[in-house]
Amino acid sequence: MSILTLHPLLRYSQHDVAPGHCCSILWDLREPPIAIRHVTSISTAIDELELSEHAITPPVSSLYIQCDILPEPWPIEATNPYGVTIRDVLQAIYMCLQQQLRHEEWDRMAEKHRGRISQVFDTRWRVAAEPILVHNQGVLRVDCILRHTLFGGLTISPESGDSCILTLRCPR
């Protein structure tokens, strides 16, 4: 089995890659991947060429992503028969978190956690450009990450070579 290496844009670092940042990209997971910026150049979006680069070397056709902050083991899988790209990874994370929370998932959560999620949801729909539409969509999985809304990078899982660990962080 060959050693997998994450693309530098996606890679988590225990040391700041820029002041206050543990990853090379700045992305609030409540926003679509098109909103992603380089931490060194906030005014510049990541270009299509970079997004089409392979997320992992050597390329893999599927990549599983896990995150212990999520209250449920929601499956995040990026797939591409030609090799998973940075875009595939970011889109898989975004699409997973944009799904509506199911009633049984809500019921399994502690009452205190549900209260916090409700506050996040209320804030999200009230500040939305189309509040009625957002309110009618209901609680999304992204509401469950509370304040941990920033992408902190990925790390190759030591337990499984075809999966990564997603790190989230809070805005400062």
Angle, vertex CA 31, rays to CA 163 and CA 142, nearest 5: 60
The mean predicted confidence, pLDDT, of the chain is 92
Dist. CA 66–CA 78, nearest whole Å: 11
What pTM did the predictor assign?
0.92
Provide the phi-psi class of 95: left if phi over 0, else alpha when psi is between -120 and 50, else beta: alpha
Domain range annotation of the chain: 5-99+147-169, 100-139
CB 157 within 8 A of CB 59: no
Q: Determine phi and psi for 63, rounding to 5 degrees.
A: -140, 125
In this prediction, residues 13-18 reach a mean pLDDT of 74
Dist. CA 84–CA 14, nearest whole Å: 24
17 has pLDDT over 80 = no
pLDDT tens-place string over residues 25-81: 999 999 999 999 988 887 888 889 999 999 999 999 999 999 988 888 898 999 999
Q: Position of tokens 């990925």?
A: 154
135 has pLDDT over 70 = yes
